[in-house]
Every structure is written in structure tokens, then in C-alpha cells.
Amino acid sequence: MKILICDPVDEKELSRLNDVENVSYDVRTGMAVDELKETVKDYDAMVVRSATKVTAGLLEAATNLKVIGRAGIGLDNVDIPAATKKGIAVMNTPEGNVVTTAEHAIAMMLSLSRNIPTGTTTMKDGLWEKKRLQGREIFNKVLGIVGFGKIGSIVADRARGLKMKVVVYDPHIAPEQIESSGFESVSLEGLYRRSDYISVHVPKMEITLTFLEKKPFGLMKEGVKIINCARGGIVNESDLHAAIVSGKVAGAALDVFAVEPPGENPLFDLDRVICTPHLGASTREAQTNVAVSVAEQIIAFLKTGTIVNAVNVPSVTGELLEKIGPLLELGEKMGVLQTQLIKGPVKEVTIAYEGDFQKVDLTPVSTAVMKGLMTRMVTDEVNFINARALAKEMGIKVKETSTAESKDYANLLTVHVRTTEMANSVSGTIFGKKDPRVIKINNFRLELIPQGHMALIYNIDRPGSIGEIGTTLGAHAVNIGRMQVGQEEGGDHNIIFMQTDTRIDDATLSALNDLGSVKSIVPLEF
């Protein structure tokens, strides 16, 4: 069994691979795309960091590849759906660099407050600009933490040790959970208005892109300082530049950028911006940790089939996977749907199985549900290994029920979610042998294929209402690929699920909401 190391990784720790019987590895970094495509054909596993782009085209060429190991957390550079389609396990090492990244955020905040980079540069230029570089204390200042996952919670703890006042916003964690850790839970607007410093610790996904932009900057305190050691693109760089020039934002410390390497960037012309080249995870200790972890995970997979920290497959045998594979997809997509429909922190999840499930271990299916639910709720990377643990950390109760009886379908999976504000129920089944369908949402019956760009519309059931919706979408150049209409049992409302070729933008959403027949609309992504 052969392993290809595509990016620089601590070789001292990788050398333990030499001690494993029938396992060898080659280090080939910096290969061009065509060379990599030709090379990867001969390997069973590959190890990457952030530099190598594992595209669908590359995976098509990787005819023997069984597993991809990411030495680190982020998987923006790996086409996970394409890997899943080919049956390739994708693993990361989520625990290896959380402390390192949190420490970097603290270091950036202190450097920004005391003008350390500028002071160093001017001193080396022969200047002594003591008055111009007067800083400010962080003691007793308010630090706003956006995202209370592993890294965000460590930053909060370290800031508490520096005698800062810490406020936290995380819509997916119950306030009492945050407060039990000794921090104040606040609304996002409250955080903007109160914070002297704001540090973001959320994953990069569609809903967090340009999370900090013109409108939020307008709500912040005069003289606020921004720290981003999470992912590039979360902060709108153009709007940040304008906010600094206007004086609204007193400075920013950035470790990540929308484009990396960023090349020329107007932010670099501002003295009140300090930056580092994505160094959050770059310490000797972190590199050692992730190298050890990825080596151990790859060895376990190749030798025994054990899957650790996989993001796309659970730890199940091949025989069981053949039986429940479509259910895993259904369960995860139902979790993804629920997390986009609910409001408020989740308190309880009940996963109910009805039908011919009695001789099958459904634990991986329940885990898939929780993975889908948690992925958009937490700031940490979620996989089949940690999904339940993360739910437990957040105080979410998970229940499972099973019955052999099913009225209308051979088998039925229902996910009930109770939050601090509401309760919501979604049911689904498998059509044929492998086609997942959502067939009920609360009291509405339908037949939904959960994939792509979608929108859920609650509308009044009256003549012409669907035509109005179609006309409005057409006027905004949005094409409907598929539409499902579900009727409320014993009511006068419909729900409409539309799959569109493109994401519905805010202007289109506003126009739809203005229609008299539309009660509400929720954009969805699968």
C-alpha cells in the first residue's frame, strides 16, 4: 500500500510509516496538475494540506485511491462530494491545531492594540515614533466572540485570563450553555454595539460569506477593532477598507483573505491593518500534532479499515454500508433541511424509525442525521465521529425510537427537532432502492428531492398564487428546475418547494415576500 505526500508535512512524524509492514510513502510536493494526475494513479492514499487542490478531475484520475488525509482542519481544497461518489474516504485532523489558532488570534489582537508591527518597521527604518504609536490596553475591554466552537471557546478563555469582558454570539448554542462556561450570551446586534474588539470563529460556508460587511460595520462602536483568523471571505475586505478609512473601525488584524495569496490588496496600504500569511495553524507543535494524527489515521484505515475523523463516511462494515447507504444520504439531508427550517437553539432531537428496520444497525443513520443537523450549527468541523459528541457538548438531547409498523411506506425516517422557540418535524423515505425523498414536513405532504438550490414557500391555496410566484421569479431571471407542491392536512395553505438553477438573491426574495399569497419564504441549500 502506497501513500503520496502532496504538501509539506512534518517528515519526522511521517517516518513512522516506514515501520508499518507493506506500507510505503513518497513525498512529491509542488507538482503541476497534469503531473499530479499521472502520479496519483499508483497510490492508495494521499496526504494534503491546503496547497494541493483535490478536484473532481484529479479524483477521476486516481483509480486506486481509497483515502485522503488532510493534515489540518479545513477542507476547502477537497471536492468532498466527488470523493464520496467514488467511495474515497476523506479525513481531517480537527484537534491538532485549535490551541495554535486561538493563540494566534490573541497574539494578533495584542499586536494590533500596541502597534507592534508598525513599531518594529519604523524602528528598523531609524525612526522613534513613540507618540504616534501610542496603543491601548485590552484590560477591561469588551471582546465579542462570534462562534463558540473549539477555537472560539479557547480564545474566550484566554481573553478572560487577560481580564477582558467577553460576550459571545452563537445562534446554535443555548445561552445557558455559554453562560455555564462563564461568558455572557448576547444577540449579534448586541455584540456589534458593545464590543471593543470582535474576533470571528465561524466556518466558511454560503451563509457566513461576507459575514462582516457594510451594514454590520455601521452597527459597531466607534473605534472597534476586527480580528479574523478563521477563513478568508467571512469579512468583506472592500467594506472593511471603507470602514477603516472612515474611522469607524480603528484597525484590523487579518490572517486569512478572500484570495490567497492575496496579491495586491488595498488593505495593505493602511497602517491600521496588520496581517500574516495564514499562520494560524503554523506552529511547530501544531505541525507535529497534525502529522502524527494523519499518519495514524491513514495507517488505521489501510491496515484495518478503521475510519477516524472522516467527514463523508461513517465507521461501518462494507456489508452494512451496502444495506443502509441510501438511508445515510437521506438522514444527512434531513438533518441539513431541519437546521435550515428551525429557529432558536436546539434542545432535543428525536429520530424515529418505522418499518422494516428491525435487523439493521441504524446507529450510523442517526449519526448521519446529527452530522447534517450540526454542520450548519457549529463553528467546528463536523464529521461522523464527532457529531454526537458536539451535540452533547451543546446540551442537545438525542432520542431514538423504532417500530416495525409503518402505514404508508415500507420504511419511514422521521426527525423531530425541538428548540427554545419551536418544534419541527420532517419525514422521509427511500424510493426504489436508492432515491431519498422528503415526504412530509409537519402537516404538509409532498415529494421532495433534496438537492441543489431550493426555496420553501408557504402560500395561501388560491387560484393564481403559483402563477404569481413563477412570474416574479421569471422577472428576476430565476429559472425553476423542479417544483413540488404539498397541501396542508385540513388547512387552506400550501407549501411549495422549488429547485432553481441559481441561488435566489435578496432582491428576488423581497419581491416574493411582497406577493399577497406568500406567507413566508425560506431559501435552502443542499
Q: Catalytic residue numbers?
A: 231, 260, 278
27: alpha, beta or left, given left = phi > 0 and alpha = psi -120 to 50?
Answer: beta
Can you read off the three cell numbers belonging to residue 303? 491496515
Can you read off the three cell numbers belonging to residue 308? 477516524
C-alpha dihedral over 169, 171, 175, 178, to 10 degrees? -60
Question: What DSSP letter does each residue of 319-381 carry, written as one string?
Answer: HHHHHHHHHHHHHHHHHHHHHHH--S-EEEEEEEEEES-TTS--HHHHHHHHHHHHHTT-SS-
Specify which residues 48 forms β-bridges with.
70
Secondary structure of residue 225 in the 3-state scheme? strand
Q: Residue 31 burial (CB < 10 Å; 0-12/13-18/19+)? A: middle
Can you read off the three cell numbers belonging to residue 46? 494521499
Spatial neighbors of 124 by CB under 8 A, at least 6 apart, are none
In what side-by-side order are the strands of the sheet with 423-431?
Answer: 397-403, 346-355, 411-419, 423-431, 435-441, 444-448, 480-488, 493-500, 453-460, 518-525
Q: Residue 511 burial (CB < 10 Å; 0-12/13-18/19+)? A: middle
3-state secondary structure 417-438: EEECCCEEEEEEEEECCCEEEE
Question: Are the C-beta atoms of residues 371 and 384 closer than 8 Å to each other?
Answer: yes
Cα gap 92→247, rounded to integer Å: 41
Q: What is the DSSP letter of 38?
A: H
Closest C-alpha to 5, from 30, 33, 22 = 30
b/e map 221-255, b = 16+ CB within 10 Å? beebbbbbbbbbbbbbbebbbebbeeebbbbbbbb
Spatial neighbors of 322 by CB under 8 A, at least 6 apart, are none
Closest C-alpha to 350, from 437, 404, 427, 439 = 427
Secondary structure of residue 291 in the 3-state scheme? helix
Question: Are the C-beta atoms of residues 294 and 70 closer than 8 Å to each other?
Answer: yes
